Amino acid sequence: MASQQDTEAPAGRASGTGAASTTGPSSTSKLDRSSSSTPNGKADAPPDSNDGGLPFRDKAAYKKILIETAISRDHINAAALIESHHKQNKHNTTTYSKIGDYKLLRSNDYKVWFTPSRLYGEGYSGYGNHRTDIGEGSRLVYPAQKPIINGRQVMPLRWKRKDMKQQAEQHEELVPVRLDVDYDKVKLRDTFTWNLHERIVRPDLFAMHLIEDMQLKPPLSQPIYEEVLKQIHEQLNDFYPFVFSDEDALDPELPYSAWKNDEMRILVKLNITIGQHTLVDQFEWEINNPLNSPEEFAASMSKDLALSGEFTTAIAHCIREQTQLFTRSLYSIGHPFDGRPIEDADLIAAFLPSPLPNVFRPQQQAKDYSPYLYELKAAEEVYKQTWRPNTPRPERETKDDSNSGRVINPTWRGNQCRR
């Protein structure tokens, strides 16, 4: 290949010369530059060398460079630590100087000239709070050591966790309690439920807090306190809990309806007045079902009718009061609470007929089992609050008038009425 290139080169040059003669001087200069270049593989080409002029680096030189770099970084780090140490000492010296100045300001020598209002501005009666001037140290204040505020005389209710845990394990049996106290010029009306198995809150302590919440002062407070405590004890002693039994049939061959009748449906009537609103309703309630909860029913009813929370507690209390009347009657006739039918004729008439002939009510009874919410006039509201026997009742108006009592939301559900 080399010999062929060498033989072809003169011919190329000759052709280039001929071309130069025809094209002019520019072609001659290009030919001269091309003829001056010599291939690298020719004998007249210089040997390969480091054109950049960089020194040769071996492994030992590379390690030396790494060591020098590490040493320089250590020197920089040591200088930074020394500078940081000097700054910290300067900061500590300044801080201790300020602390000394503050101690001098709080001492008796300089306290006269440097008052808290001069240091912190008007409105401060001490160095941050009232305890710093007195000289008392910081201490941990437990809930039992907190001072009683608002001039209360009765100690707040506090219990141990152990006692609350034991109380939480007790069965809850809510007793409806209604207070009706009329002494001198004080009239106290209240309704609430009390757990029959309550062990940590005593009735006397509850009565004391109730009297103090009413802001009753002596000499009226003591007689009212005794009357409230008396009524609570009387209603707790007269309470009869309902007994739920799951016993099997004595004779397995008899049908279920021949020896047991679980249905004890009663008619609960509501007539609750709170403020200027009166709720009137009636519905059926099964007292022999442990899953029936008056509180859950009252919450659902108040939500459906958009009633306030006061109606919720009042509805639950009315249900428990009326179910307690029937339970007390069952105890009076010696009912065994084992599912057997009631034998007393008068009590059977008081309960609703069982079993139900039809799950739908007649069309003419649908309106009687719908809730009504009335807005009372001012005269009727005063009548309800100051009712006495033989007092004429003002007439209730149900026409749509902004100045008179009216039906706000009569709800009628047709045949599918709530039972």
**Quick one: tokens of 64?**
């030396």
The residue assigned the tokens 């009076």 is 332
pLDDT at 262 (0 to 100): 64
The H or E element containing residue 266 is: strand 265-274
User: Closest Cα partner for 220 from 249, 265, 181?
Assistant: 181
Residues 357-371 pLDDT 10s: 788 888 888 888 999
pTM for this predicted structure: 0.56
pLDDT at 400 (0 to 100): 35
pLDDT at 338 (0 to 100): 73
In the chain, where the domains are located? 92-134, 161-237, 262-407
Which CB contacts under 8 angstroms, 24+ apart, belong to 152-161? 152/212, 153/212, 154/205, 154/208, 154/209, 154/212, 157/201, 157/205, 157/209, 159/200
pLDDT at 18 (0 to 100): 41
pLDDT at 352 (0 to 100): 86
User: Which residues does the chain have with pLDDT short of 50?
Assistant: 1-50, 131, 133, 388-419
φ, ψ dihedrals at 194, nearest 5°: -125, 135
